[in-house]
Amino acid sequence: MTYEQVKSLKSEDFKRLCGVRPDTFNEMLEVVRSLHRTKQKTGRPGKLSLEDQLLMTLEYWREYRT
């Protein structure tokens, strides 16, 4: 699922999916964005947006898919 599909979920469903509430997710996203701005750009650009990268990481940590 992409962030565009998930952002319209209710707060409880969002937390069930990735383990954090939407307001916590937005705070985490701001921290990631601030670090991303200061990072030196090298290599190929990513295909996923920062929102999708963070969501995928949280889903992985939540469910620990193997």
Indicate the average pLDDT of the chain: 90
Mean pLDDT of all residues in 58-63: 90
| Burial category of 62 from C-beta neighbours within 10 Å (exposed 0-12, middle 13-18, buried 19 and up) | middle
Mean pLDDT of all residues in 9-22: 93
Looking at residue 21, what is its pLDDT? 95
pTM for this structure?
0.85
pLDDT digits (tens, 9 = 90+) for 27-59: 999 999 999 888 887 888 889 999 999 999 999
Q: How confident is the model at residue 23 (pLDDT cuts 50, 70, 90)?
A: very high
* C-alpha dihedral sign at 3, 8, 10, 13: negative
